[in-house]
């Protein structure tokens, strides 16, 4: 589905697509001015009352941003005429739920893996051990 095609048919969607593109470009431009190792740890949120709002994923990223931002404020202000200051807010990313293994191997599959492990034991011991571990893990 082509969103640009749909955007031509709906003016509201077209406006949203243009705005999303503007924020993507601004976020990319902001990230070009800041160290690459910080890029995964923050994002550009908005410009509010002349202040560019950056959202940091943790306190360490926020403190680094707060130290670096004053030195690049003139370049940041050059990205958009509305930017006169920058503030950094910490918005932790939600904790990811522990992964649960929903894989269920049939008895026939486990027997095949066990047989393959026995056959491979001399020529490919690492693979044989991995297969044996798989059988132990899923055979219980």
Domains (range + CATH), the chain: 3-90 (3.30.300.180), 107-139 (no CATH)
CA–chain centroid gap for 68, Å, is: 22
Q: Give tens-digit pLDDT for 68-88.
A: 999 999 999 999 999 999 999
pLDDT at 38 over 90: yes
125-139 and 107-120 are packed helices; what angle lies between their axes, rounded to 10 degrees?
160
pLDDT tier for residue 2 given thresholds of 50, 70 and 90: low
């Amino acid at each position: 589905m082509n969103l640009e095609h749909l955007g031509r048919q709906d003016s509201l969607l077209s406006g949203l697509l243009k705005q999303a593109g503007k924020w993507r470009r601004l976020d990319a431009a902001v990230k070009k001015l800041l160290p690459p190792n910080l890029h995964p740890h923050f994002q550009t949120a908005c410009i509010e009352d002349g202040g560019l709002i950056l959202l940091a994923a943790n306190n360490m990223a926020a403190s680094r941003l707060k130290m670096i931002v004053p030195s690049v404020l003139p370049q940041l202000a050059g990205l958009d005429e509305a930017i006169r200051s920058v503030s950094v807010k910490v918005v932790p990313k939600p904790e990811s739920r522990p992964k649960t293994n929903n894989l269920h191997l049939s008895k026939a599959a486990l027997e095949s893996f066990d047989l393959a492990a026995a056959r491979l034991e001399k020529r490919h011991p690492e693979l044989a051990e991995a297969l044996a571990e798989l059988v132990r893990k899923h055979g219980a």
